């Protein structure tokens, strides 16, 4: 929700102050490679988003393992019922 909207605003604001500041300089308008606060914020958000997705993956892997154990347990019960016949 709000985090995604913030990220989109941060990523889409590439046509702002950095380009205006570089316009009057020599060297083809190239600015020094100084990271802006926005790019730092965007990097920080990307890191947090990446961590969130990694945690989601871990959670789903654990859930898969749990469900596989449940499947095996039920298969064993079915086999046991067949053996009792």
Q: pLDDT per residue over 13-45, tens digit each?
A: 454 555 555 455 555 666 677 778 889 899 999
pLDDT surpassing 80 at residue 55? yes
Please answer whether residues 10 and 42 qualify as being in contact, where contact means their C-beta atoms are separated by less than 8 angstroms. Answer: yes
Distance CA 7, CA 1 (A): 10
Q: How confident is the model at residue 1 (pLDDT cuts 50, 70, 90)?
A: low
Number of residues that this document lists for the chain: 85
Distance CA 78, CA 65 (A): 20
């Amino acid at each position: 929700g709000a985090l995604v909207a913030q990220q989109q605003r941060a990523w889409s604001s590439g046509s702002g102050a950095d380009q205006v500041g570089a316009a009057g300089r020599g060297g083809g308008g190239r600015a020094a490679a100084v990271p802006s606060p926005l790019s730092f914020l965007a990097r920080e958000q990307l890191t947090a988003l990446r961590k969130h997705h990694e945690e989601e993956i871990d959670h789903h892997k654990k859930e898969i393992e749990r469900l596989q154990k449940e499947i095996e347990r039920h298969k064993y019960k079915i086999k046991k019922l067949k053996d009792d016949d």
